[in-house]
Amino acid sequence: MQVELISINVMGKYMSHGTATGVTKIQLDKKNMFPEALAYIEKHCNKNGFEVLNFAIDGNVYYYTLIKK
């Protein structure tokens, strides 16, 4: 089982993708922030066999927990 975390920081306009090997920070476009971030998550899940396990909001940060069985 493999777990990854993707967080979208609304105020900072960036997304962080945490994996077992490290964290990748991705700068997002101001106008298309959410469509761009959600497209990235969907593409990553489809390409690598992940599913969204959980979604949470804490202030200005949106968290997606992904799982691969």
Catalogue all structural domains in the chain, each as residue range(s) with its CATH number. Answer: 2-68 (3.30.1410.10)
What is the per-residue pLDDT across 10-63, written as a single tens digit (0 to 9) for each? 999 999 999 999 999 999 998 899 999 999 999 999 999 999 999 999 999 999
CA distances to 11, 39, 58, 60, 62 from 44, rounded to whole Å, are 23, 8, 23, 23, 17
At 69 the pLDDT is: 81
H/E element, 7: strand 2-9
Kindly indicate the confidence band of residue 4, based on its pLDDT and cuts at 50, 70 and 90.
Answer: very high
Kindly indicate the confidence band of residue 68, based on its pLDDT and cuts at 50, 70 and 90.
Answer: very high
**Tokens linked to 51:** 């599913």
